[in-house]
Copies of this chain bind each other. A is one copy, B any other.
């Protein structure tokens, strides 16, 4: 199984699928699209979504191309994490997902390999010319045989990416909006646990009291709420509306909760 994720929109992902299906290693692979509208050229937001989604899959090769540095000297890498492999640019986008997929609870139990990049067919589309063939080759060899692939070698290092840490104390918490989803839910880096014991009550968000509820429809349509999303983090939301607009926040905004 090869999953595909990118910020390409359309139709560029289809060229990657064609390359995989035409490659001896990938011709029999089950292909599953994760998303091709990841926040464009936003490595951190893409890394967040991949960390949330990829661990739900059975063992797979995950091709990920959010690559604003394409054509520069940024490396191309494969990460082996547990029974999974991640293939993409060395800009951090793969790393949070690798930690989530790493076996045995040891978040650092992953291995990074560098892809030897020959002269690709283009300088602007390594998804098609570098990463898709690499993903097909990894699929064909098997995730536990990466050492056998001639174009892979252990990497000397890699670009790390960590999400900002929130501040939590007895009076409240200060965090940041990591991403806004398609519904307009503003997803923060605040762990859902800060709302333990507060459901059915309220917290102050930037000074205004806002209800804390288990889910959206527990308040009136159009009203604001604070909840814990499916990722386990605090969300600012509106029932049947957009939380980002109602709270006046966007990706990167600071969020202050107090109780």
Contact = CB atoms under 8 A, between A and B. Distances in A.
A108 interface: no
Interface string A101-136: 000000000000000000001111100110000000
Interface stretch (A63-71, A144-152, A164-172): A63-71
A57 B10 contact: no
Contact of A53 (B11, B53, B122, B228): B11
Number of copies of chain A assembled together: 3
Contacts of A33: 14, 33
A200 to B, nearest CB: 13
A43 to B, nearest CB: 11
A222 to B, nearest CB: 12
B53 A35 contact: no
Interface residues of A, number: 62
B3 A215 contact: no
Nearest to A120: B230
Interface stretch (A16-24, A155-163, A202-210, A249-257): A16-24
Interface in A36-88: 36-38, 40-41, 49, 52-58, 68-72
A59 to B, nearest CB: 9
Contact of A10 (B1, B11, B37): B37
A69 B122 CA distance: 36
B35 A10 contact: yes
A118 to B, nearest CB: 15
Contacts of A36: 10
Given A14-B35, A40-B183, A49-B11, A217 B69 contact: yes
Nearest to A49: B11
Contacts of A5: 11
The list of the 10 closest CB pairs from A to B, nearest first, reads A71-B215, A18-B56, A125-B230, A9-B182, A11-B35, A18-B57, A122-B230, A14-B34, A10-B35, A123-B214
18 contacts: A1-B21, A9-B181, A11-B35, A11-B49, A11-B52, A18-B32, A18-B55, A21-B57, A22-B58, A56-B128, A71-B216, A71-B217, A122-B228, A122-B229, A122-B230, A124-B216, A124-B228, A129-B230
Interface of A: 1, 3, 5, 8-12, 14-15, 17-19, 21-22, 27, 31-38, 40-41, 49, 52-58, 68-72, 121-125, 128-129, 181-183, 214-218, 227-230, 232, 235, 239-240
